[in-house]
């Protein structure tokens, strides 16, 4: 017999230095878990070929973006290479109320902003590489960036890693399979927290009354 108890979704935040495996873990989680969706950011940059409005990004003008900032409509926002990026609150909270978890791929600064506004709904996980040597090897193995860009990513990694203690959980991604298992266990445990199951009091009451 399967008991279906109403639950509220959670915001699962993943952060890591570039090359530690955050994107790979995010893709795996989205494939494995039917009740989790990726957060969709708004941006002021123009759409790239193949990008779909509302799926890849919400594309906004600068004036509309600034109006949303003024109205407090973002969970987090930042300027990256001259363009504005932000996570609109409304679709995230609608997903949570419907029992869906929302996955965030953001840095420590975005995580601080989200936590300041919705800490009770947020579960934060930092992904660490097993060593600096392995991190550099993975960046080189991707063959996506020239040596000077990799050097910059390695320099930035030290600053990002220094914020590991601000997160609820830390996973050392030494092997992908082990990291996947740890992430799945974190998600399952957080879903079972009493306060994330609004349908639990009513269900427990029926057991108390013997119904």
What is the model's pLDDT at position 139?
81
What is the model's pLDDT at position 53?
94
What is the model's pLDDT at position 3?
85
The C-alpha atoms of residue 204 and residue 78 are separated, in whole angstroms, by: 44
CB of 41 closer than 8 Å to CB of 57: yes
What is the model's pLDDT at position 143?
65
The C-alpha atoms of residue 163 and residue 126 are separated, in whole angstroms, by: 9
Predicted TM-score (pTM) of the model is: 0.90
Number of continuous H segments (helices) and E segments (strands) in the chain: 8, 9
What is the model's pLDDT at position 144?
67
Mean pLDDT, 10 residues at a time, over the chain (211 residues)? 90 93 94 95 94 94 97 94 94 97 94 96 96 86 75 86 97 96 98 95 92 68
Report whether CATH 3.30.470.10 matches the domain 11-39+101-209. Answer: no
Closest CA to 114 of 88, 94, 138: 88
Query: From the CB of residue 136, how many other CB atoms can be counted at a distance below 10 Å?
Result: 17
């Amino acid at each position: 017999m399967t008991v279906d108890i109403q639950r509220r979704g959670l915001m699962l935040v993943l952060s890591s230095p570039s090359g530690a495996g955050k994107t790979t873990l995010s893709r795996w989680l989205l494939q494995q878990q039917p009740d989790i969706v990726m957060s969709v950011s708004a941006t002021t940059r123009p759409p790239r070929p193949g990008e779909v409005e509302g799926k890849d990004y919400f594309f906004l003008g600068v004036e509309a973006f600034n109006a949303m900032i003024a109205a407090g409509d973002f969970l987090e926002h930042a300027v990256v290479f001259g363009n504005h990026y932000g996570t609109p609150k409304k679709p995230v909270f609608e997903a949570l109320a419907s029992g869906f978890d929302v996955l965030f791929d953001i840095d420590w600064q975005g995580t601080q902003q989200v936590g300041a506004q919705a800490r009770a709904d947020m579960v934060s996980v930092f992904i660490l590489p097993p060593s600096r040597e392995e991190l550099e090897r993975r960046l080189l193995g991707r063959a996506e960036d020239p040596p000077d860009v990799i050097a910059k990513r390695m320099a930035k990694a030290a600053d990002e890693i220094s914020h590991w203690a601000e997160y609820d959980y830390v996973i050392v991604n030494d092997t992908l399979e082990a990291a996947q298992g740890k992430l799945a266990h974190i998600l399952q445990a957080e879903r079972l927290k009493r306060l994330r199951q609004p349908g639990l009091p009513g269900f427990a009451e029926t057991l108390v009354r013997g119904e």
